[in-house]
């Protein structure tokens, strides 16, 4: 038996995981091999101590293949993995807001002279001016609450949309808010047709510059076939979600210096996670600690749960949760952060109106800024890092 234990297949690695130069990122690969003999890693002899082996590997590409192998008297064993190099990584955060239809309905009805005469967009603009925050507004085609469809939004604001597209983008979320979990079918036809419909309307009234690939589909519950179809058509590449599990239990094991995958012997790691597309709890745990994992079988890059959901967290909870997130980054080395919320909680006529919703979003952006994180769009470059595009 030969097994690469670290890094994991699909891992995203940066300068915190090794030694980075302009030419590459050198990491230490670790594994186990029960056969006697010489283990080669990409053709280089690994150091062995009993069953454990280590080898320095230099990553030079965005996607790197690592192959460990042994050909001894008990036969040949090998394992091959792929990992991503987040070259010239930096602390950065993405902010998406789900379920948009209310502000579009208001503007289509009232026709203000400027988009930013509407209180909601004005609030986002103020946050942008303070911190440079980039917002992705994930949209519904239909407002199930007020009888509005996106086809009725005027194109008279197109120039203003384009002028602000460096920080304000619109994206696909779903046809409408209801029913819940609309894209669980293995047939992606409706998912793709709804995507095309929203993109065409956004492009019509806001310009191609304003549309951006989504990083979350409504409810973050989509079949493997649906995710793969979005990736294959170039419609999306990053998928965020809640990836729900027993977070308190997992964190307690981590705080005690134990690996939950090893210490929780009776845990069913093969069970599906919720609000996490088609992934399992085992993959959800990896995302809980490392934030990013690439599923090469579908081409999807998954980004883990957020501790900052502004409509659900009070200002004090936002402070505490983001402090925990930045603390968790230290041992695990990730430099990407996700902020999220939902549009409707800003509106007084919504039944679950949150009076300080915009203040909560402002606070989250301020905390990220104070911790040295820069605003990005995860849908651009490699989670907002454009080093591989240069």
- Cα–Cα distance for residue pair 385/143, rounded to 1 Å: 34
∠ Cα 280 283 288 (to 5°): 120
Tens of pLDDT, residue by residue over 157-181, are 999 999 999 999 999 999 999 999 9
Q: Which residues of 99-115 are buried (b: 16+ CB within 10 A; e: fewer)?
A: bbbbbbbbbbeeeeeeb
What digits encode the pLDDT tens for the residues 351-374? 999 999 999 999 999 999 999 999
Write down the number of H helices and E strands in the chain: 10, 20
Asked if residues 232 and 299 have their Cβ atoms less than 8 Å apart, the reply is: yes
**pLDDT given at position 326:** 95
Question: If you search the block for the tokens 């004090």, which residue do you land on?
Answer: 316
pTM for the whole thing?
0.96
Query: Could you count the other beta carbons within 10 Å of the beta carbon of residue 267?
Result: 18
The predicted pLDDT at position 275 comes to: 97
Q: Is 361 exposed, middle or buried (0-12, 13-18, 19+ CB in 10 A)?
A: buried
Q: Return the pLDDT at 96.
A: 98
Contacts of 117 (CB under 8 A, 6+ apart): none
pLDDT in tens, 321-351: 999 999 989 899 999 999 999 999 999 999 9
In a 13 Å sphere around the CA of 246, the CA atoms on its Cβ side amount to 12
Relative to beta strand 92-100, strand 148-149 is unpaired
Q: Would you say the C-alpha torsion 126, 129, 130, 131 has a positive or negative sign?
A: positive
Residue 194 in tokens? 């709804």
Name all domains of the chain by residue range, CATH numbers in brackets: 2-85 (2.60.40.10), 92-389 (3.20.20.370)
pLDDT at 182: 98
Is residue 390 predicted with pLDDT exceeding 90?
Answer: no
Q: Distance (Å, rounded) from C-alpha 369 to C-alpha 351?
A: 32
């Amino acid at each position: 038996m030969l097994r690469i234990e670290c890094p994991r297949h699909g891992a995203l690695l940066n300068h915190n995981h090794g030694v980075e130069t302009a030419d590459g990122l050198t990491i230490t690969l670790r594994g186990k091999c029960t056969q006697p003999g010489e283990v080669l890693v990409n053709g280089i002899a690994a150091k062995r101590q009993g069953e454990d082996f280590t080898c320095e590997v230099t990553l030079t590409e965005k996607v790197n293949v690592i192959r460990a192998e042994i050909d001894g008297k008990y036969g040949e064993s090998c394992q091959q993995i792929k990992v991503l190099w987040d070259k010239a990584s930096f602390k950065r955060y993405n902010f998406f807001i789900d379920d948009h239809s209310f502000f579009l309905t208001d503007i289509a009805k009232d026709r203000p002279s400027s988009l930013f005469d509407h209180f909601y967009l004005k609030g986002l603009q103020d946050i942008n001016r303070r911190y440079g925050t980039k917002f992705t507004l994930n949209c519904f085609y239909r407002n199930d609450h007020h009888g509005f469809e996106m086809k009725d939004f005027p194109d008279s604001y197109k120039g203003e949309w384009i002028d602000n597209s460096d920080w304000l983008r619109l994206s696909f979320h779903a046809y409408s808010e209801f029913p819940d979990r609309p894209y669980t079918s293995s047939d992606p036809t409706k998912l793709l047709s709804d995507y095309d419909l929203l993109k065409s309307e956004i492009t019509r009234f806001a310009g191609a510059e304003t549309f951006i690939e989504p990083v979350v589909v409504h409810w973050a519950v989509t079949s493997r076939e649906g995710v793969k179809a979005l990736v294959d058509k170039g419609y999306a590449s990053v998928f965020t979600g809640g990836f729900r599990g027993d977070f308190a239990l997992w964190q307690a094991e981590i705080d005690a210096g134990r690996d939950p995958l090893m210490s929780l012997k009776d845990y069913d790691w093969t069970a599906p996670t919720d609000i996490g597309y088609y992934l399992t709890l085992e993959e959800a745990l990896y995302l809980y600690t490392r934030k990013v994992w690439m599923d090469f079988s579908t081409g999807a890059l998954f980004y883990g749960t957020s501790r900052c959901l502004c409509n659900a967290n009070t200002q004090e909870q936002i402070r505490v949760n983001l402090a925990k997130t930045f603390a968790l980054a230290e041992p695990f080395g990730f430099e990407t952060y996700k902020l999220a919320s939902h549009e409707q909680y800003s509106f007084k006529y919504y039944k679950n109106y949150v009076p300080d919703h915009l203040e909560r979003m402002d606070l989250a952006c301020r905390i990220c800024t104070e911790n040295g994180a820069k605003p990005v769009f995860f849908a651009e470059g490699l989670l907002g890092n454009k080093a591989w595009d240069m």
